[in-house]
A and B are shown apart, each in its own frame.
Chain A
Amino acid sequence: MPRFDDLIHQPVRLRIMAALAALPPDASLDFTALRDMLDVTDGNLSTHLSKLENAGYIQVEKTFVMRRPKTFVSITEAGRRAFEEHVAALQELLNLSSSSGKTG
């Protein structure tokens, strides 16, 4: 049975994971683009990224592009699995409620 993941379910982290899971397999996302997409502050995003990184769900890479510091974020295999399981658990809950609604 798929497992809910408390760490992922927090709304900002859920959207972070959804965005990173939707990226093509070889790609990562710029911190600024992610911040703008989620409409959160730098500090807020950093806090959530740290939690996901500590759980091993995402990878944060700091590098230089054209001599400018850049931070790129990507999902790990463990993160993708946990996210897919969380989505499956949400879907299952919804299916159960709709089938019990029909029978009950």
Chain B
Amino acid sequence: MDEPRVPLTPDEAKAALAMIEETTRQMRRMAAHGGTPYFILVWGIVWVLGFGAGHFVRDPNILSKIWLVLDVLGLLGTLYIVRRIRKSGIHWQSGATVGWFWMALVLYAGLFIYVTRPTGMLLSMVIALWAMFGYVVSGLFYRSRFLSTLGLVVTAFIVVGYIIFPAWFNLWMAILGGGSLVAAGLYILWAWR
């Protein structure tokens, strides 16, 4: 017979709840390891290393090369994660829209930087703010309060660091900007383990 009889016994209810819990855990593990938290983690590591180098390396030529290498690695990591997500069996309905949104964001950020020509710390802040704007909007697309909140919190860190601690801005960004992203990525992996 297909349908169960109701009411159930407490043992049947307990077994059903255990089954639900196990399936939920399996699904969350699949979603987490499919890739999403790795995006945050990869770019968090890029920020920690890039801004960290900005604090210690004074030569702007060397620094721009370090950022270039880190950004290329971040981009390669992102492409690898996109591939993993596609293979995971989880389909993000807004995935394509978010992808196009990020491309448009990079284009507009590039245009903005080309036109306004910010340099040094101002350039770092502008890029970081555009990136966090991307997190906030992506969170709205994915209906993820966590992602949008993360974007807003890191935005607040960026602005506070820029205004109040300009001498320590790079170190501030490495620890609180990049560190927050790394912590958030690790938190999702831990919570959905």
Residues of A within 8 A of B (CB): 4, 6-7, 9-11, 14-15, 18-19, 21-30, 32-34, 36-37, 70, 72, 74, 87, 90-91, 93-94, 97-98
Contact = CB atoms under 8 A, between A and B. Distances in A.
Contact of A10 (B4, B10, B28, B141): B4
Contact of A9 (B4, B30, B31): B4
A90 B28 CA distance: 22
Interface residues of B, number: 32
B2 interface: yes
Nearest to A87: B20
Contacts of A37: 23, 26-27, 30
Interface string B124-137: 00000000000000
A33 B90 contact: yes
Nearest to A38: B23
Contacts of A24: 31, 36, 92, 142-144
Given A10-B3, A18-B23, A26 B141 contact: yes
B17 interface: yes
A27 B93 contact: yes
Contact of B8 (A32, A74, A90): A90
Given A15-B23, A93-B10, A26 B143 contact: yes
Nearest to A3: B6
A23 B13 CA distance: 23
Given A4-B7, A14-B16, A19 B26 contact: yes
A6 B31 contact: no
B19 interface: yes
A90 B16 contact: yes
Contacts of B27: 18-19, 22-23, 37
22 contacts: A4-B6, A6-B6, A7-B3, A9-B16, A10-B4, A14-B16, A14-B20, A15-B19, A19-B23, A22-B31, A23-B31, A25-B142, A25-B144, A27-B31, A27-B92, A29-B91, A33-B88, A33-B89, A33-B90, A72-B91, A90-B17, A94-B17
